[in-house]
Amino acid sequence: MLFILTVIVLLASAQAKFYTDCGSPLASIESVEVSGCKDDAKECILRRNTNASISITFTPSKDIKSLVTEVHGVIMNLPVPFPLPQPNACQDTGLVCPLKAGTKASYKATLPVLKSYPK
């Protein structure tokens, strides 16, 4: 089964809003942290031409063989996919796949916020 870990980064306005649980039956999200953001912030600024570190702690409700990271920028209210150098969430993120149901997992990645992204 493929579990898609989607990270939505609002690059159009250079602001990142913290996650909204989409109600996926595959996992429960416990926490989301973005570098430079306060724990109680509703949004934070992502500076272009820098890297943003993100950490997501979650517990899968089913065994998961593989994960994919997707990043979308929201431009004019439309999600636009942004390619990542390594979309396989089981590599270089601290996750060891397969993941076991009921076992807490922590995803950590550094995502580029390129200078070419819209302001």
- CATH number for the domain harbouring residue 6: 2.60.40.770
* Between residues 51 and 20, the one the model is more confident about: 51
- What's the confidence (pLDDT) of residue 95? 94
pLDDT in tens, 55-114: 999 999 999 999 998 877 777 778 888 788 889 999 999 999 999 999 999 999 988 888
DSSP letter at 88 equals B
Domain limits for position 28: 2-113
Q: Which pLDDT tens digit goes with each residue over 5-48?
A: 444 333 333 444 556 677 788 898 888 888 877 767 766 677 88
In total, how many domains does the chain have?
A: 1
Prediction pTM value: 0.75
CB-based burial of residue 67 (10 Å sphere; 0-12 exposed, 13-18 middle, 19+ buried)?
Answer: buried
Does a structural domain hold residue 118? Answer: no
Spatial separation of the C-alpha atoms in residues 12 and 59, rounded to whole Å: 30
- 117, HSE (Cβ side, Cα atoms, 13 Å): 26
